[in-house]
Amino acid sequence: MTDTAVSSKISVRDVRRTYQVGREEFVALGGVSLDIDDNEFVTLVGPSGCGKSTLMNILAGLDEPSAGTALVDGVAVRGPGPERGVIFQQYALFPWLTVRQNVEFGLKTARVPKAERRARAEHFIQMVGLDHFADSLPKTLSGGMKQRCAIARAYAVNPSILLMDEPFGALDALTRVKLQEQLLATWSQDRRTVVFITHDVDEAVFLANRVVVMAARPGRIFDVIDVDLPYPRTEEVRFSPEFAALRNRVWQAVYHQDPGQPAGADLTNTP
């Protein structure tokens, strides 16, 4: 194992993921390499079907590479683990449990004693601003509140890595902006390594230290753009010329990769 692999929090080394589609081999990821530092906030953006979720599922241990390795803290990922919290686009809350019970769920599974469970859940429920809804059931919450609950639940088990697959994709623009700010406020208080998938170029730039732009057929890293903007990311930052310049750069990288072909249009590889 190399030094680089050990010093990165996440290290993706020549990861390939292929699927057999009929007689053809479909290359969802064609040799992706990426290093992510501890406490870094990385956003993954790219056309539909370029392999973002595939890469995240491999990091989460929910899928395996066909070749190559994904390392966390220098150790190859072999299945899900408590140091990696996963948040999906669809609110994966237990509908029969209250906000508090949902947040406590992972702690209960980990056999954390009741008093500590309560205290930890309380802390993270407050952090995401759901204190008045701790005893509410998910069906009585808005989409944004459900996602805040999912974030509190992921944080409560104290993962060092948060893997988020389009967590704000289903929300309206206003809620989305609020949740971006809230997520950053939470992250600033309590740093974690975050890998965050989005389709939204503004969101990708606003949140990240680094934007990784992927391309399809085969799924690969197209460009990596450093976001050298200060935190906290205020409205002033959002409307600054520096932000606009970065957004334009990411936009070009995402939307002008392959002008001849609509991205994600077919299932088979074009040679």
Q: Would you tell me which residues interact with Mg ion (CB under 5 A)? A: 53
CB 47 within 8 A of CB 215: yes
DSSP code at position 132: G
The DSSP H or E segment spanning 103 is: helix 99-109
- Report the partner that residue 267 touches, choosing among ligand ATP, Mg ion, none (CB closer than 5 to 8 A by kind): ligand ATP
- Report the partner that residue 186 touches, choosing among ligand ATP, Mg ion, none (CB closer than 5 to 8 A by kind): none
Q: Which is nearer to Mg ion, 53 or 147 (CB)?
A: 53
- Smallest distance from the beta carbon of 57 to ligand ATP, in angstroms? 7
Letter string b/e over residues 212-238, b meaning 16 or more CB atoms within 10 A of that residue's CB: bbbbbbbbbbbbebebebeeebeeeeb
- Measuring CA to CA, which residue among 113, 95, 93, 88 is closest to residue 103? 93
- Smallest distance from the beta carbon of 51 to Mg ion, in angstroms? 8
CB 210 within 8 A of CB 218: no
Q: Which is nearer to Mg ion, 43 or 53 (CB)?
A: 53
What letter represents residue 161's amino acid? Answer: I
- Smallest distance from the beta carbon of 46 to ligand ATP, in angstroms? 6
Helix 99-109 to helix 143-156 angle, to the nearest 10 degrees? 20
Strand order in the sheet with 67-72: 24-36, 10-21, 67-72, 75-76
- Smallest distance from the beta carbon of 176 to ligand ATP, in angstroms? 16
Q: Which is nearer to ligand ATP, 41 or 88 (CB)?
A: 88
- Report the partner that residue 192 touches, choosing among ligand ATP, Mg ion, none (CB closer than 5 to 8 A by kind): none
Contacts with ligand ATP by CB under 6 A lie at 19, 21, 26, 28, 48-54, 219, 267
Residue nearest to Mg ion (CB): 53
- Report the partner that residue 8 touches, choosing among ligand ATP, Mg ion, none (CB closer than 5 to 8 A by kind): none
Q: Which is nearer to Mg ion, 199 or 249 (CB)?
A: 199
- Smallest distance from the beta carbon of 161 to ligand ATP, in angstroms? 18
Query: How many other C-beta atoms are found inside a 10 Å radius of the C-beta of residue 12?
Result: 22
Instruction: State how far the Cα of 181 lies from the Cα of 104, in Å rounded to an integer.
Output: 24
Instruction: State how far the Cα of 56 lies from the Cα of 164, in Å rounded to an integer.
Output: 8
Residues β-bridged to residue 67: 16
Q: Which two tokens stand for residue 69?
A: 């390795």
- Report the partner that residue 6 touches, choosing among ligand ATP, Mg ion, none (CB closer than 5 to 8 A by kind): none
Q: Which is nearer to ligand ATP, 49 or 85 (CB)?
A: 49
- Report the partner that residue 54 touches, choosing among ligand ATP, Mg ion, none (CB closer than 5 to 8 A by kind): ligand ATP
- Smallest distance from the beta carbon of 27 to ligand ATP, in angstroms? 9
- Smallest distance from the beta carbon of 190 to Mg ion, in angstroms? 26
What letter represents residue 86's amino acid? Answer: V
Q: Which is nearer to Mg ion, 130 or 171 (CB)?
A: 171
Cis bond upstream, residue 218 (ω within 30): yes
Q: Which is nearer to ligand ATP, 68 or 129 (CB)?
A: 68
- Report the partner that residue 65 touches, choosing among ligand ATP, Mg ion, none (CB closer than 5 to 8 A by kind): none
